Structure formats: C-alpha cells, structure tokens
Structure 1
Amino acid sequence: MKIAFVGKGGSGKSTLSSLFIRHLAANEAPVVAVDADINQHLGAALGLTEDEAAAMPAMGAHLPLIKEYLRGSNPRITSAEAMIKTTPPGTGSRLLRVAEDNPVYDACARTVTLDGHEEGDVEYVRLMATGPFTESDLGVACYHSKVGAVELCLNHLVDGPDEYVVVDMTAGSDSFASGMFTRFDMTFLVAEPTLKGVSVYRQYKEYARDFGITLKVVGNKVQGQDDVDFLRAEVGDDLLVTVGHSDWVRSMEKGRPAPFDLLEASNRVALQVLQDAADDSYAGRDWARYTEQMVHFHRKNAESWGNAKTGVDLADQIDPDFVLHERLGQQRTGVTGGPLSSPLPTPQPA
C-alpha cells in the first residue's frame, strides 16, 4: 500500500514518517521509503550521516533510465522522450514491485540498515530521494520538476496488502500541483495543536474532497488533554491519534538512537494505529478508479503543457483496456504475461 505523510513545515512529518518506517520494518514488512520533500530530512531521520544522506542518488538525475525501463514494449509510447511524469502504464509497460530487484532501484535506491538495534536484530528499508535543489536549479526550477520521477514510478508501481511505500511529501499543500496526491491509500496529515497547525488540514481537506482521498490527522507535539480537545474541535473525526514528547526521538535526533523496541509504549501503540488504518484503507482500494484518476491527470497535463513540450498527442499513450491491479507486474513481466526484452540505455544525466 502507498502512504503519504504531509503537514506544515516543522510539524514533525519527517520524524513521524521515519518512526512509521521503523515500525513497519520491525514488523518485517517490505518497505520502500521515498523522500519527496524539497528539504531532504528523511535519510537523516532514518540514521544516515550527513555525508551518506548527501550521497543519495537523485531520482531526477536518472529520469531517462526510469522512463526507458518503464516504457518496456508499450506500443503506445513511441520513445522515452515522449513520456512525462503522468504517463500511465499500459499493455507492454514494465511495472515495479516493492520487494523486487530492478534497474530503477539499482540506480535510485539505497538500502538503509536501521540504527539502534541490538546485535543480530538487523532491519533495513529501501530509500529513494527526489534530490535537493542545486545551484543550477535556483531561479529556473520548481519543486514539481523534482518529484516528476516519483510520480512516474508511483504510477507504475503495483503494491500488495503486506508491503508498503511510504512517501515523506513536501510541506503544505504544494503536492496538489500534480496528481501524485491521488496515488496514496492513506494520507496522514501531521498537525500541531495550533491554528497554524490545522490550517494545512483545512486546505488539504478541501482540495482532496472530490478525489476520494482518505485523510487522517496525526496530532503531534501534544502535551495534554487540552491539546487533544483543541485538535478534536478543529478536525473532528479525522483525528486518528496523537503523539507527545519522546525521549527516544530526542536521543535519535542527537545521533544516539536507542534500540527501537525501547520507544515509549504509547508511541508504539500510536504507530500500530497508523498501520491498522492504512491496512484498512488499502483493503478498499478500487483499482479501476485508481487507474481512472491516473488517466484524468495525464489528460490534464497533456493538454496544459505536455503536448507542446513533447510535440505529440500524449492522449494516445492511454490504453483504454488497461487497469492497474495487484496481480500485474509479477516476476518482472509485461502486463500481458510475456517477458519484456527492450534493452536499457546507458544511464545519462537528465
């Protein structure tokens, strides 16, 4: 299942994302973690050093390889250059699975061994990152130019009920400038018990209303019942759970994480509540609607800028008979069941 963490800058969404990822890994679930925030903090929250986090490959730098791999033998896509961030899969496309090995993960993902565990108790996750802004981006690029590779991968990723993709999104409501917000079975909005803290919730709730987005609020930095009552009054039944001060998190942020099983019992219970809510949401996924939303945003992007940029009618990339489904993408085959043999190009800079 695909899960997003969103919220106001400074709300603690990267910290909660990392705790949730650690919780899933401790439960032996396959996890792909994606840092899609313009400020890249997830790697450090998962225990990477500053140098290790800086050395993470940027997905955007490998966009030509990603496109060529996902295109496969799809006859509706004439070239990798004709693909945009919303290009949907169709017959002949290559699909990604959470737990498989593939050239996209080889180029863009790194295995992170989670710190703070007892000897012999090793857990790990795959981590991918959009990449930070560089000097050449300043003044000419926006956040959305960075996350296009993430959206393309999510469109081609087939996930099952016991495997997880966790995406740490950008702060605020910027994610609504693309269709990526519809890719998630559950969106956890991290909110502090302040008026500013819940303002992003109101924006997100309004924008998501017409798209069937499952949105739950995680109250963070909650110090007492008055904070809980405030959040309940502001967000109502969308408040799922609250999280308070954590000595474990404070130690982790100082670079001295304790074994994860020493995380406070109340916070471990809160993380299980998040997992249960995500599991329940995935169980109700409508694959046809999921595919239709993908196609809807592809048409919008094609008409507004994609056709002009590529010089082709991108609506022709839509396979009307294709519906993404959990059964597809097994054993790295085409959606018709036949193996794909299109060679991958030598990776080139984007």
Structure 2
Amino acid sequence: MKIAFVGKGGSGKTTLSSLFVRHLAAAGAPVLAVDADINQHLGSALGLGDEEAAALPAMGDELPLIKDHLRGSNPRITSAETMIKTTPPGEGSRLLRLWEDNPVYDACARPVELDGGTVRLMVTGPFTDADLGVACYHSKTGAVELFLNHLVDGRGEYVVVDMTAGSDSFASGMFTRFDITFLVAEPTRKGVSVYRQYKEYARDYGVALKVVGNKVQGPDDLDFLRSEAGDDLLVTVGHSDWVRAMEKGRPPRFEQLGEADRRALRTLQNAADAAYELRDWERYTQQMAHFHLKNARSWGNERTGVDLAAQIDPGFVLGEGVAARV
C-alpha cells in the first residue's frame, strides 16, 4: 500500500514518517521509504550520517534509466524521450514490485539498516543551486510519480513517501497515488490552514485524508484540532524523549519508544491497512489517464512533439493479476 505524509514545513512530517517506517520495519513488514520533499531529511531521520545521506543516488538523475526500463516493450511509447512524469503503464510496460530486484532499485534504492530491520530508501535528490532559475522541484518528483504509476503493491507491503510541504503536492497527479494521506498538523492556525487547503483540493478525487496532530501539549490543543479537523483527526502525538534524542543524532533502541507513541503508530498502520482494502484498481488507473491527458494538453505534447494521449492503453487496468503476467 502507498502512504503519503504531508504538512507544512516544520510540522514534523519527516519525523513522523521516519517513525512510521521504523515501526513497520520492527513489525517485519517489507518497506520502501521515499523522500520526495524539497528538503531532503528522511535519510537523516532514519539514522544516516550526513555523508551517507548526501551520497544517496538521486532518482531525478536516473530518470532516463527509469523511463527506459518502465516502457519495456509497450508499443504505445515510441521512446523514453516521449515519456513524461504522468505516462501510465500499458500492455508491455514493465511493472515493479516492492520486494523484487530490478535496474531501477539497483540505480536508485539503498538499504538502510534499522534496529528493527532493513528498509529500502529512495530519494528525489536535493534542489541545488544549479537548478535555480532553470528548473522546478516537480521535475525531480516526476521520477517518483512515474515509479508509483508502475508499482504494483500488495497487502502487507508498505511504500511510505515523505512529500513536499504544503500545497505543492498538487502540482501533479501524484497526490492521487496513495491509499491514504496523513496530514501532519500542529495545533495552530497555520498548522490547520494546510489541512483545509489540502481537503479542498483533494475533495473531487476520493483522496483518503487523515490528520495527525503533532506537538499536542494538552486538552486545549486537542480541542482546537478536533474543532478544525473533526472526524478527519485520526490521532495526536505530543512530546517524546525518544524523538528528542533522535533529533540530536543519538536515538535509543526503537523498542524504547514510549507506549503512547507506539499506540499512535499502530493506529496509523491500521488506518493504512483499512484504506488499502478499499482500493479500486480500475479507478486508480483512470486517474492516471486523467492527469496524463491534462499534462499532455497543457505542456507535454508541445515539449515532446507527439500526441501523448496515444500512450493511454484503454484496455489496460493496473493490478496484481497484470503484474503476474508481465
């Protein structure tokens, strides 16, 4: 299942997504973590040193390889150069599984050893000085969107994506690629403003959205979040000595995480598991086509010089049965 963590900058979404990854790994679940934030901190939050985190291969740098592998023998895609971030899979495309070995993982994923197990980590790569004035960050997250479009995930498999802050997540169709989105919100007006904005944007696309209240210090904070988020408020977390130690680069064993935080993480996992059971693969595939056509008309056709609508395979529906045939 695919899970996104979103929220305004400084809300604690990277910290909470890293805790969730650790929780899943400790439970023995296969986990792929993806850092798709403009500020690349997930590796550090998972315990990598600065040099290790900086050495992670950037998905954006491997985009030609990713495109060439994913298009496979799909006759509707004449070359990797005609693929854009929203290009959907079709008959002949190479689909990915979370647990397999393939050239995309070889180039872009690295194992991270946690005290509860090992996870795969992929990163978009940082937004550098060389990008200023010539690129937008969404050109980097396009690699993640293509990857998610071609990934067939199953029950008990977890893809956890730390998304870019705020409403920037809506610059593409990637926000519809998730079974559930956890919006991390502090109990402040600015904290809940991102929730209201996200809720408004996501309304027409059936996005499962739940609020995780962070830095909640007492009943007043809880009442505030309840009044603003209503039934969307799933769980709240407060101060954690374990997290404080982690932020100093000295995390204790994960088993020493406080019971209140453990309960919160179990609640997130239960919500994600329940959301996956509601996935409609046909609708999921149709949403890919919708955003592909939208991007094709607005800029893709002009940039590639081809009619990208022809890349859509009308008889193709992504799903586990299709992955077994490829």
Task: Work out the CA distance in 2 between the residues paired with 1:327 and 1:22.
Answer: 30
Task: Work out the CA distance in 1 between the residues paired with 2:205 and 2:214.
Answer: 26
Residues paired across the two proteins, number = 326
Is residue 224 of structure 1 aligned with residue 188 of structure 2? Answer: no
Task: Work out the CA distance in 1 between the residues paired with 2:286 and 2:127.
Answer: 32
Match of 1:195 in 2: 189
Match of 1:37 in 2: 37
Q: Percent identity, aligned pairs only?
A: 78
> How far 1:326 moved relative to its partner?
2.0
Q: Which runs of 5+ in 1 are unaligned?
A: 335-350
Task: Work out the CA distance in 1 between the residues paired with 2:64 and 2:10.
Answer: 34
Task: Work out the CA distance in 1 between the residues paired with 2:270 and 2:219.
Answer: 24
**1:52-81 deviations in Å (ceiling 9; x for gaps):** 000010101000100000000001000011
Task: Work out the CA distance in 2 between the residues paired with 1:256 and 1:328.
Answer: 45
- Secondary structure of the residue that 2:270 maps to in structure 1? helix
> How far 1:329 moved relative to its partner?
2.0
Select the residue among 298, 303, 306 that pairs with 2:297. 303
Match of 2:158 in 1: 164
Select the residue among 113, 132, 139 that pairs with 2:126. 132
* Superposition CA RMSD, Å: 0.8
> How far 1:7 moved relative to its partner?
0.2
Select the residue among 171, 175, 179 that pairs with 2:173. 179
> How far 1:134 moved relative to its partner?
1.9
Amino acid of the residue matched to residue 79 of structure 1? S
> How far 1:271 moved relative to its partner?
0.2
- Secondary structure of the residue that 1:96 maps to in structure 2? coil
Amino acid of the residue matched to residue 224 of structure 2? F
**1:78-121 deviations in Å (ceiling 9; x for gaps):** 0011100000000000001111110000000100001xx3xxxx
Amino acid of the residue matched to residue 5 of structure 2? F
1:1-350 mapped onto 2 (5 Å cutoff): 1-114=1-114, 117=115, 123-330=117-324, 334=326
Task: Work out the CA distance in 2 between the residues paired with 1:92 and 1:278.
Answer: 30
- Secondary structure of the residue that 2:321 maps to in structure 1? coil
- Secondary structure of the residue that 2:224 maps to in structure 1? helix
**1:107-142 deviations in Å (ceiling 9; x for gaps):** 00100001xx3xxxx511000000001221011111
Amino acid of the residue matched to residue 61 of structure 2? A
Match of 1:344 in 2: none
Task: Work out the CA distance in 1 between the residues paired with 2:243 and 2:285.
Answer: 38
Task: Work out the CA distance in 2 between the residues paired with 1:60 and 1:41.
Answer: 17
- Secondary structure of the residue that 2:34 maps to in structure 1? strand
TM-score normalised by structure 2 residue count: 0.99
Amino acid of the residue matched to residue 100 of structure 2? E
- Secondary structure of the residue that 1:329 maps to in structure 2? helix
Structure 1 stretches of 4+ moved >3 Å: none
**1:277-298 deviations in Å (ceiling 9; x for gaps):** 0100000001110000000000
Task: Work out the CA distance in 1 between the residues paired with 2:286 and 2:29.
Answer: 29
- Secondary structure of the residue that 1:190 maps to in structure 2? strand
Amino acid of the residue matched to residue 304 of structure 1? S
> How far 1:327 moved relative to its partner?
2.4
> How far 1:161 moved relative to its partner?
1.0
**1:249-273 deviations in Å (ceiling 9; x for gaps):** 1111111111101100000000000
Amino acid of the residue matched to residue 83 of structure 2? M
- Secondary structure of the residue that 2:166 maps to in structure 1? coil
Task: Work out the CA distance in 2 between the residues paired with 1:99 and 1:296.
Answer: 29
Q: Which runs of 5+ in 2 are unaligned?
A: none
- Secondary structure of the residue that 1:327 maps to in structure 2? helix
- Secondary structure of the residue that 1:161 maps to in structure 2? coil
- Secondary structure of the residue that 1:97 maps to in structure 2? coil
Task: Work out the CA distance in 2 between the residues paired with 1:102 and 1:138.
Answer: 33
Amino acid of the residue matched to residue 227 of structure 1? D
Task: Work out the CA distance in 1 between the residues paired with 2:212 and 2:179.
Answer: 16
Amino acid of the residue matched to residue 274 of structure 2? D
Task: Work out the CA distance in 2 between the residues paired with 1:194 and 1:8.
Answer: 11
